Structure 1
Amino acid sequence: MSQTHVTADTLPPGDLSGFRDLQQLAYEAADTVAAGLGPGVTEREAARRIRDHLTERGVQDWFHTPFAWFGDRTAFRRFRTPLQFFPTDRRLEEGMPFILDCAPVRDGFVADIGYSGYLGDNPLHDQLMDDLHAHRQLILEHVRAGDTLQDVYRGVDGLLREQGYDNRHQVYPGRVIAHQVGKVQSRLPRAIVAGFGVRSLQTLFGDLVVERLHNRSPLWADGDISAHPATPGMWAVEPHLGFRDMGVKFEEILVVTEDDAFWLDDDLPHVRRWERRALTAAGTTEENR
């Protein structure tokens, strides 16, 4: 979404609430489907359940259709082609990690979310999720400071290496950790090609052309194309950490204005989880004094 002279006061409240409501709906779908997962459910079945949940609640189109990754596929190990991202017949087993990812479109608004979880018991997954919290803080602080997207990406890389993990968002097409999202404006008929909505792709490609004219990009990676501060607008950000055959991530909208940046919504499953863990840790500390 390319905008100029965007400040916190000039962002359209209706647009913010439209993006926020859809992001909440997308996370509700992932949360609901995650709660119903059990041994033997396939990635394809999980993705279909997300799609059904959202279409029943007014979603009309997709930036991309739902994904589900189970087990070692959460870390994108041995992924070589885009086709490997699509859901498979991999079945969920006890203790397995999973990631659910969807990007619905409703009334022109777009959300793109990522939800990490596991079936049963998995202490290592809990540790990775705990460590992911620092990346949400780092990204916001450095974007607010006006650092280039390239430098913020490298800052995430440095932090995850310090934590003992490796970068899995580099496996996404274009090595992106984020991309801009905006209201879909297209007269093309609704259609899905290779898992992506043609209307959303037309909007993204239009932004790509406009941004390149200004030596900027709506795609956030670690190359020189991202050697500029975040363009004002909405960014779907998805840091993805990997450790051996396990990956965890979140994906949510970061709002960037001319003079500030903020996460669109803090009432999200991973944020609530971090808050609960912090309260538990604080209570344990008090008990041990």
Structure 2
Amino acid sequence: MSNRVDLDRFRELQRLAYQGAEHVASRLEPGVSERMAAAALRRWLERHGVDDWFHVPFAWFGERTAFRNFRIPTQFLPTGRRLEPGMPYVLDAAPVMDGYVADIGFSGCLGGNAAWTRLDRDLSAHRAHILDLVRRRRTFQDIYRAVDERIKEQGRTNRHQVYPGRVIGHRVDRIRVGGPRLVVFDSFGLRTLRTIGRELVKERLEGRSPLWAGGRASAHPPTPGLWAVEPHLGTEDGTVGAKFEELLVVTEDDAFWLDDDLPHVHRWRAA
């Protein structure tokens, strides 16, 4: 479990990542492409001290926010899809600074879109729901299935099941400083992949997984540490998607969101 100083550093980086996403979102306009938005977010964060990447920024516009017809990993990469009025968007980035990691998802809409507003309202219910279930020490598998059931009750579709591994979350640890800072597969930092590999081996030996999904590997109580949690909802017709992603702190007997001073939390409270 990270100490208070470490948590402060993780929190500072998470806030910086969200500040970058807000900055880029405030400058989105019709004609901007996913590639342009993702590149702008990467430049902003690197100018503000980010020195490596858990994964580089992604941007998804329109029906791609719901991962419509996504079949292979390369479809997650930003494309030339251009933003239009009323179109939803998602910005997603996982920066690293001095070995500390953040992983954020920022949803919005360019102008008014009633379908997105209703979807965002439904998304808001999952933040408290997930925290409550973790605090009750339900297994990660049970929590995943409970979230899926809530999504169905809302008349929505589960879109995080499209992520590689069908994950709703993953473990976050400090990345070891040292070694080449390279991005591979146009997405993930090399040091990140090495860290993930070590964690997979270590956790599997202990009967756990650093990936939070709905399968048997997640049929264990919440593992103490930091978890990037990312529930992702879509409309039934697959044209609109929305998500949030932020760090959840799990202790031996409690859990809490690392920070409540985040854009989606303020938006939901204001609503």
TM range (shorter): over 0.9
Residue-by-residue CA offset, 1:1-47 (whole Å, 9 max, x unaligned): xxxxx4xxxx4111000000000000000011001000000000000
Q: Is structure 2 residue 187 aligned with structure 1 residue 226?
A: no
Q: Is structure 2 residue 42 aligned with structure 1 residue 48?
A: no
After superposition, where does 1:134-145 map in structure 2 within 5 Å?
134-145=125-136
Query: Is the CA contact 1:186–1:203 (under 8 Å) kept in the aligned structure 2?
Result: no
Distance in 2 between the 1:54 and 1:104 partners?
8
Letter in 2 for 1:127: R
**2:9 paired residue among 10, 18, 34:** 18
Distance in 1 between the 2:124 and 2:86 partners?
22
Quick one: percent identity of the two aligned structures? 61
Task: Give the match's secondary structure for 2:95.
Answer: strand
1:283 aligns with: none
1:201 aligns with: 193
Distance in 2 between the 1:120 and 1:13 partners?
40
1:162 aligns with: 153
Letter in 2 for 1:206: R
Structure 1 position 229, deviation (Å) = 1.2
Distance in 1 between the 2:31 and 2:133 partners?
42
Structure 1 position 70, deviation (Å) = 0.2
Structure 1 position 134, deviation (Å) = 1.1
Q: Is structure 2 residue 202 aligned with structure 1 residue 210?
A: yes
Which consecutive aligned stretches of 4+ in structure 1 deviate over 2 angstroms post-superposition? none
Residue-by-residue CA offset, 1:160-182 (whole Å, 9 max, x unaligned): 10000010000000000000011
Q: Is structure 2 residue 264 aligned with structure 1 residue 273?
A: no
Distance in 2 between the 1:208 and 1:247 partners?
30
2:51 aligns with: 60
Structure 1 position 188, deviation (Å) = 2.5
Distance in 2 between the 1:14 and 1:46 partners?
33
After superposition, where does 1:1-289 map in structure 2 within 5 Å?
6=1, 11-185=2-176, 187-194=178-185, 195-243=187-235, 244=237, 245-277=239-271
Q: Unaligned stretches of 5+ in structure 2?
A: none
Query: Is the CA contact 2:98–2:177 (under 8 Å) kept in the aligned structure 1?
Result: no
Task: Give the match's secondary structure for 1:126.
Answer: helix
Q: Unaligned stretches of 5+ in structure 1?
A: 1-5, 278-289
- Matched residue pairs, number? 268
Task: Give the match's secondary structure for 2:241.
Answer: strand
1:281 aligns with: none
Distance in 1 between the 2:256 and 2:114 partners?
31
Residue-by-residue CA offset, 1:150-198 (whole Å, 9 max, x unaligned): 0000010010100000100000000000000110015421100011001
Letter in 2 for 1:215: G
Task: Give the match's secondary structure for 1:157.
Answer: helix
Root-mean-square deviation (Å) = 0.8
Letter in 1 for 2:206: H
Q: When the two structures are superposed, what TM-score results if normalisation uses the length of structure 1?
A: 0.92
Structure 1 position 124, deviation (Å) = 1.3
Higher-Rg member (1/2): 1
Query: Is the CA contact 2:99–2:177 (under 8 Å) kept in the aligned structure 1?
Result: no
